[in-house]
Amino acid sequence: MLTQTTQGSLKQPTLQLLRGLRTKSKNSRVATVSAATQRIITGLSVLSGRKKYPRILKLSNEDLIRHDTIQAAWAQYQRDIRTDRQSVLDKQYDSIINAMEDLKITNMELFKIANKKEKGKRFPLDARIPVDFPPNKVWHYEVKAPAEKK
Amino acid sequence: MFSPKPTASLSVAALRQFTTSAVALGKPGCNTIKPVHHRVKINKNKLSHRFPELNLSKNDIRNPAFKPTSTYQDRVEEHYHNTIASDLLLINAQEGEFTQFGKKRREWDGSSPYHLNRSLRKPQGSEAETLDIKPHTASNIPKIEAIHINCYVESAKDNANHALNSLVQIQQITGVKPKPIFAKTNVIHWRVRAGFQMGARVTLKGRPMNQFLSTLTDIVLPRIREYKGISNKSGDRTGNIQFGLTPDDIRYFPEIESNQDLWPKTYGMHFNVVTSAQTDAEARTLLSAYGLPFHGSEKGTKPENIEY
């Protein structure tokens, strides 16, 4: 349906489409939810991966070749690190076994002590994983455990 | 099933359907071969020609789901390779080790004719088979492989919002998208019905796992009041260690603590640390290197021999 609006005699009357017009006020169309429900909706929107993907990179053929070359080089670098690491460990294992065999020949009693299974071995609790910004005081040595109740 | 008769081939070809050629051959309409095409699930998205990028692997940069992974230095992983691995090799390696075979299912002695097709006897002194323990070498040094987090929320049976909140909570703590868990069966006196959404679970691997471990050992566990540590009795005998945190402990995670008013209720959860260690004792030694504390007596070890 079309209606004419006359806002002034000098102006050209403008045509307005009624069908697309909003009949109710904007606020009444929004479903109102309780604060708790709204919190859950917000939380779930954190989970959803939709709309969070960045735009797909547009790569030309040259870009793609460049990217693949760097990827291949990085993978090779990582592979080298891995093989180096493993070869060091293999050497360490061989030297452990060699030392034990030497000890076996030299002193059987010491060998038995050295070759015992270390069950219940623990790393010290105050050993830290290195971080970029360690605290100034790493460990509070003076803290004592409270005396146990009897 | 076909019979290879050349005479009937034309009419067979005309009448034959996918799995029922038997009727056309004048046999009873029963096929003993199971239809393959009903069992193989076909992802039809993959067959579409419209989005060829989606068929590329996830680590191909042209795939819309591509996500760069090595974007930061992983100090925990480096610590494992620089320090822990060689120490563990020294602790575990022994001279003259052989494979110790685990308890396996046994043959029946054949004293009864019914033994013939009976399934094997259960292992001696055990309900289930146990794994072999192989010599400890440089190629099987224990390593943390994954952390499974499981959060079952009992109150979700009355209010499904609790299950949704637990999903968000795990996502906040770990930074990894969790999966919902559902009740599998009706449990009448728990008032739980099959299909209820009852919580969340997630499997952490690689960088998110290391990040989570360092948060746990540096921030959360030291602040829990009177925290004794993981029980030395914990473990599933194959080198995986389990422990749990209460809803109050969860509040110490920095993501939860900085938004206290958003979290009127938190949910406790269970952790299963999957390691490649062959026994639980070795797994505990490995976990202690990451700063996880242990308490209690360890089976097969005198209390005075446990080092802390």
For chain B, domain boundaries:
9-55, 144-305
Q: Would the pLDDT of B167 be above 90?
A: yes
User: At a CB cut-off of 8 Å and minimum separation 6, what does B138 contact?
Assistant: A86, A89, A90, A92, A93, B89
Residue B78 exposure: Cα atoms within 13 Å on the Cβ side: 9
Question: How distant, in Å, are the alpha carbons of A98, B100, B133 from that of A94?
Answer: 6, 21, 20
Mean pLDDT for B271-279 is: 96
Q: What letter does residue B252 receive in the DSSP assignment? A: T
B213 band by pLDDT with thresholds 50, 70 and 90: very high
CA separation for the pair B117, B109 (Å, rounded): 12
Containing H/E element for B180? strand B179-182
A36 touches chain B (CB under 8 A): yes
Percentage above 70 pLDDT, chain A: 75
Shortest Cα distance from B4 to chain A (angstroms)? 53
List residues bridging with A14 in a β-sheet.
A5
User: At a CB cut-off of 8 Å and minimum separation 6, what does B164 contact?
Assistant: A40, A43, A44, B197
Mean pLDDT for B229-255 is: 94
A112 touches chain B (CB under 8 A): no
Place of tokens 């994983």: A129
- The pLDDT tens digits for A38-54 are 888 888 888 887 666 77
Nearest to B168 among A43, A120, A130 (CB): A43
Q: Would the pLDDT of B21 be above 70?
A: no
Mutation pick from B70, B72, B73, B94 vs chain A, by most beta carbons of A within 10 Å, is B94
A82 touches chain B (CB under 8 A): no
Q: Would the pLDDT of B14 be above 50?
A: no
Contact (CB, 8 A) for A101 and B96: no
For residue A132, list chain B residues with Cβ-Cβ distance below 8 A.
75
Q: Would the pLDDT of A9 be above 60?
A: no
Nearest to B301 among A47, A86, A119 (CB): A119
Nearest to A93 among B138, B291, B293 (CB): B138
**Per the CB < 8 Å rule, is A47 touching B87?**
no
For residue B177, list chain A residues with Cβ-Cβ distance below 8 A.
47, 49
Is the domain defined by B144-305 classed in CATH 1.20.81.30? Answer: no
Q: Would the pLDDT of A7 be above 60?
A: no
* Selection from B144, B307, B290 nearest residue B232 by Cα: B307
Task: Please name the residue ranges forming H helices in B158-268.
Answer: 161-174, 206-215, 221-223, 247-250, 254-257
A13 band by pLDDT with thresholds 50, 70 and 90: low
Shortest Cα distance from B308 to chain A (angstroms)? 6
Percentage above 90 pLDDT, chain B: 65
Kindly list the strands in the beta sheet with B144-152, ordered across the sheet, starting from the edge strand earlier in the chain: B179-182, B197-204, B144-152, B269-275, B240-245
Q: What is the 3-state secondary structure (H, E, C) of chain A?
A: CEEEECCCCCCCCEEEECCCCCCCCHHHHCCCCCHHHHHHHHHHHHHCCCCCCCCCCCCCHHHHHHHHHHHHHHHHHHHHHHHHHHHHHHHHHHHHHHHHHHHHHHCHHHHHHHCCCCCCCCCCCCCCCCCCCCCCCCCCCCCCCCCCCC
**Per the CB < 8 Å rule, is A44 touching B300?**
no
Question: How distant, in Å, are the alpha carbons of A109, A125, A134, B85 from that of B240?
Answer: 34, 20, 30, 18
**Per the CB < 8 Å rule, is B291 touching A131?**
no
Contact (CB, 8 A) for B298 and A118: no
Q: Would the pLDDT of B276 be above 80?
A: yes
For residue A40, list chain B residues with Cβ-Cβ distance below 8 A.
161, 164-165, 168
Mean pLDDT for A94-103 is: 96
**Per the CB < 8 Å rule, is B95 touching A101?**
yes
CA separation for the pair A101, A98 (Å, rounded): 5
Both structure tokens of A123: 């790393």
Q: Would the pLDDT of B273 be above 90?
A: yes
For residue B139, list chain A residues with Cβ-Cβ distance below 8 A.
86, 90
Chain A residue closest to B297 (CA)? Answer: A120
Containing H/E element for B274? strand B269-275
